[in-house]
Amino acid sequence: MPALANVALMRLTARPGLALIVGLLALLAAAIATAFLTIGARGRWDFVLAFRGTKLAAMVLVGVAVATAAVLFQTIARNRILTPSIMGFDALYGLIQTGTVFLLGARGLGFGDPRLAFAVEAGTMIVFALLLYGWLLADGRRSLHLMLLVGVVLGAIFRSLASFMGRMIDPAEFVVLQQRLFANFNAVRSDLLLPTCLAVGAVLLVVARLLPRLDVLLLGREAAIGLGVDHRRNVFLVIVLVSILVSVSTALVGPVTFLGLLVANLAYMLLPSYRHVHVLPAAALLAVVALVGGQLALERLFALDAVLPVVIEFVGGIVLIALLVRTGRR
Amino acid sequence: MIETQELTRRYDKAAVVDAVSLQLPEQAFTAIIGANGAGKSTFLAMVSRLMPASAGRAFVDGLDVATTSGDVLARRLAILRQDSAVTARVTVRDLVAFGRYPHSRGRLTAEDRAQIEDALDFLELAPLADRFLDEISGGQRQRAFVAMVLAQDTDHLLLDEPLNNLDMRHAAGMMKLLRRAVDERGRTVVAVLHDINFASCYADHIVAMRDGRVIAEGPPEVIVTPSVLEAVYGIAMEVVSVRGYRSVHYYR
Ligand SMILES: Nc1ncnc2c1ncn2[C@@H]1O[C@H](COP(=O)(O)OP(=O)(O)OP(=O)(O)O)[C@@H](O)[C@H]1O
Ligand SMILES: [Mg+2]
Q: Nearest ligand, CA of residue B16?
A: 1
Ligand 1 atom with minimal separation from the B43 CA: 18
Question: Which amino acid would we find at residue B84?
Answer: S
**pLDDT tens across A247-265, in order?**
888 888 777 767 888 899 8
Task: Enumerate residues lining ligand 1, CB below 6 A.
Answer: B 11, 16, 34, 36-42, 82
8 A C-beta contact, residue A256 and residue B72 = no
Structure confidence at residue A108 (pLDDT): 57
Instruction: Please give the Cα distance from A325 to A319 (Å, whole number).
Output: 10
What whole-number distance in Å separates Cα of residue A229 and Cα of residue A239?
A: 16
Q: Could you write out the DSSP letters of every residue in A157-204?
A: HHHHHHHHHHHHS-HHHHHHHHHHHS--GGG--GGGHHHHHHHHHHHH
Q: Given a cut of 90, is residue A70 above it in pLDDT?
A: yes
Q: Across the interface, do A78 and B152 touch by the CB < 8 Å criterion?
A: no
Q: Which of A53-57, B28-32, B125-129 has the highest mean pLDDT?
A: B28-32
pLDDT of A38 over the 90 cut: no
C-alpha B41 to ligand 2 mean position (Å): 4
Q: How far apart are CA A302 and CA A310, in angstroms?
A: 14
Distance from CA of B130 to the nearest CA of A (A): 8
Q: CA Rg, chain A, in Å?
A: 21
User: Where are the domains positioned within chain A?
Assistant: 17-329
Which one-letter amino acid corresponds to residue B237? M
φ and ψ at B214, to 5 degrees? -85, 115
Quote the ipTM score: 0.89
Distance from CA of A317 to the nearest CA of B (A): 23
Q: Quick one: which atom of ligand 1 is closest to the CA of B212?
A: 14
Please tell me which residue, B149 or A91, carries the higher pLDDT value: B149
Q: Is the pLDDT of residue A174 over 70?
A: yes
As beta bridge partners, residue B22 has: B4
Tell me the pTM. 0.87
3-state SS assignment for residue A105? coil
Residue B120: what pLDDT? 92
Ligand 1, atom 19, residue with closest C-alpha: B37
Q: Which residues of B touch A141 (CB under 8 A)?
A: none
**Domains of chain B, CATH where assigned:** 2-76+155-249 (3.40.50.300), 85-153 (no CATH)
Closest residue in B to A77 (Cα) is B87
Of A212, A219, A230, the CB nearest to B106: A212
CA–CA distance, A72 with A147 (Å, rounded to integer)? 16
Angle, CA of B141, B146 and B152, to the nearest 5°: 130
The answer, yes or no, to whether residue A5 has pLDDT greater than 60, is no
> Length of chain B, please?
252
Q: Which of A212, A219, A227 comes nearest B74 by C-beta? A: A227
Over residues A306-315, mean pLDDT: 72
The pLDDT tens digits of the residues spanning B118-142 come to 899 888 899 998 999 888 888 899 9
Q: Which CATH class is domain A17-329?
A: mainly alpha
Contact B205, B29 (CB under 8 A): yes
Element (DSSP H or E) covering residue A133: helix A114-139
Q: Is the pLDDT of residue A10 over 80?
A: no
Burial class of residue A20 (count of CB atoms within 10 Å of its CB; 0-12, 13-18, 19+): exposed
In whole numbers, what is the pLDDT of chain A averaged over residues? 80
For an interface test with A, give the residue of B47, B105, B117, B124 to mutate (most A CBs within 10 A).
Answer: B105
Question: How far off is chain B from A218, nearest CA to CA, in Å?
Answer: 6
Instruction: Considering only residues A183 and A139, tell me which one the structure prediction assigns the higher pLDDT.
Output: A139
